[in-house]
Amino acid sequence: MSIQAFFTRWYLRTQFKPKPGTRVRVEEARQGMARMSRWQVPLPKGVVSKSLPADVGAGLCPAEWLSVTAPQRTVLYFHGGGYFSCGLDTHRPVVASISRRAQARVLSVDYRLAPEHPCPAAVDDALAWYRDVLSDTPANQVVLAGDSAGGGLVMALLQAASKQGLPMPAGAVLFSPWVDLAATGESVRSQAEGDVMFNPENLADAAQFYLAGRSPSDPVASPLYGEMKGLPPLLIFASRSEILLSDATRLHDKALAAGVSSQLVLASNMPHVWPIMVMLPEAKASLRQVAAFMQERVPAQ
């Protein structure tokens, strides 16, 4: 573990992780993430951004392109935040890093958040943008990516697109995906102390916001329970010391059982979604793996 990761873990455990029994307050959490997002590294050299306002007529939520000058592939990125927090600003560093490393144009999607817009609003927004991208880009040149709730959203999007007969993308990258809102995974309990960011009750609160009465085992919200057959190759990252470890391992196992190619990368002593913490040496190594996967799945034209 790098010294940067050591101090990041210390900071998250002492300053970020709620005390046991603390309930999630939506506005407080959003304001906290907004404050953290002010301390960002500049965009990498050669990466430019273009904001896209919502297009109500087309059913498209706001989004942002980050791209190198001559992109060789297209990525759709869906941020985490428990479906109720975070957005384009909080995740711009990792999106920009993926753009540079994978020589890609990356669309970061600012999907609607719960509790104002519960499930399936985020899935509808993701599907609308996927359809829009496919209108001018072949599916075999597209890779999906997301972290935490955004990783779950990637899986929900893949299953929804498959049901509607849309072509599958070339692959998907998932950082600590949240795919079981019923929280039945063994690690939700076994890693409650080891996780430096969250307690089990934090998952329950976020799930309640997003579900709004929907069953937590409904595949639209919890794609672990959905159909895996026919999905594209997956690259899944998870920490051995996070409460969502079992979400990642069970997703990997279920994908393999359905004949889907899946790679599972497990790291010790890393925080939840460490690859998005772009200044960590471990994140840089993981993002190199991501870029290699994207380049393999979508060769340069």
Instruction: Spell out the domain ranges in the chain.
Output: 3-297
Residue 274 has what DSSP assignment?
G
Q: What is the CATH number of domain 3-297?
A: 3.40.50.1820
Catalytic residue among 176, 246, 272, 286: 272
Instruction: Give the pLDDT score at 37.
Output: 77
- Minimum mean pLDDT range among 16-25, 52-61, 224-233: 16-25
- From the list 1, 111, 91, 3, the residue with the least C-alpha distance to 49 is 91
- How much is the pLDDT for 296? 98
Q: CB pairs under 8 A, 24+ apart, for 38-44?
A: 40/89, 40/92, 40/93, 41/93, 41/278, 41/279, 43/92, 43/96, 44/96, 44/97, 44/99, 44/100
Q: How far separated are the first and last CA of the chain, in Å rounded?
A: 37
Question: Which of 67, 85, 97, 148 is labelled catalytic?
Answer: 148
227 is catalytic: no
Q: Please identify which of the residues 241, 242, 262, 286 carries the catalytic annotation.
A: 242
Say if residue 120 is preceded by a cis peptide, omega within 30 of 0. Answer: yes
For residue 88, name the pLDDT band (cuts at 50, 70, 90): very high
Find the mean pLDDT for residues 123-133: 98
Asked whether the beta carbons of 154 and 172 are under 8 A apart, the reply is yes
Q: For all residues of the chain together, what is the average pLDDT?
A: 96
pLDDT of 40 above 90: no
Annotation says 117 is catalytic:
no
**What's residue 147's pLDDT?**
98
Active site includes 272?
A: yes
Average pLDDT over residues 188-202: 96
